[in-house]
Structure 1
């Protein structure tokens, strides 16, 4: 009899935990932040990861555009961050944006591509709970001297440096 009660108690605990896990969705949003050393607003071989940059995810209601959820993360030495996002945000638009760079020489936000859209819902056909954001960046105050060569290598018309 005692074994039956023990087994029944264990089964109830497992079912309770499983039900709890279903009610509380979690997503991991991963991305990176770099310094655009050539001021071209895309990553080149001269781009540098920014350690200690702050990225913020904000989810807004699709209809009212009211912010419903916000979380932040700080980048590691490789410029990478991971955010734990709680809940399913099916009826919200979630965007990650950079909000702070610790580098005095590279803290100017980009003129475009200053955020990355991320879907944080289980109802989109993506079984993996990890979502990947496009790389984000800050621009260096002045382009590095080697940027002209990088743009020539890419076959792009060099910008004024």
Structure 2
């Protein structure tokens, strides 16, 4: 009899915990953080001569996986370290959420790559059902490309054991 009561108590506790997890998912609060840089060598990753961009604008948009309908949108502007932070209320388990570059404060570094293999967006998971322990979500760094590569780029690429790219 005691074993039966212990099993029933365990099952009841599990049910309560699952309901608590469900309630938490519906009332989730997240903070999406990331950085924006100037891609000074036009190679689509950060190097030692890349600069972080103050005043760049990014957009977070979530779309339903099935219908592609937009379910959430927010914008943010980067600080002096090139960092942004976007508060998000709600759980977006059935959505694809992406950060995209919108506007550069620097006319010399304002090009957005349209290369299909280097799409300038960063996906973020905004659900409590993904195994992440914190409510802070970090997005990959995104970069605007300079119109012209800096003269020291060949040296930087050589340091990285990369072939020098032809000048633009």
Query: TM > 0.5 between the two?
Result: yes
What runs of 5+ residues in structure 2 fail to find an aligned partner? 1-22
CA distance in 1, matches of 2:155, 2:103: 30
Aligned residues: 142
| 1:113–1:136 Cα contact (<8 Å) kept | no
Task: Encode CA deviations 1:109-130: one digit per residue, 9 max, x unaligned.
Answer: 0232310010000111112000
RMSD of equivalent CA atoms:
1.4
- Report the counterpart of residue 50 of structure 2 in structure 1: 47
* Contact 2:63–2:69 (8 Å) recurs in 1: yes
1:154 to 156, 160, 163: 160
Alignment of 1:138-149 (within 5 A): 138-149=144-155
Could you say which residue in structure 1 is the equivalent of 2:130? 124
Once the 2 structures are TM-superposed, how far is the Cα of residue 69 of structure 1 from its aligned partner? 0.4
SS in 2 for 1:137: strand
Q: What are the superposed Cα offsets for residues 91-117 of structure 1, whole Å, 9 maximum, x if unpaired?
A: 000000110001010000023231001
Q: Which residue of 2 aligns with 1:76?
A: 79
User: Structure 1 pair 145/62, CA: closer, same or farther in 2 (3 Å)?
Assistant: same
Are positions 1:32 and 2:35 aligned together?
A: yes
TM-score, normalised on structure 1?
0.85
1:63 aligned to which of 63, 66, 80: 66
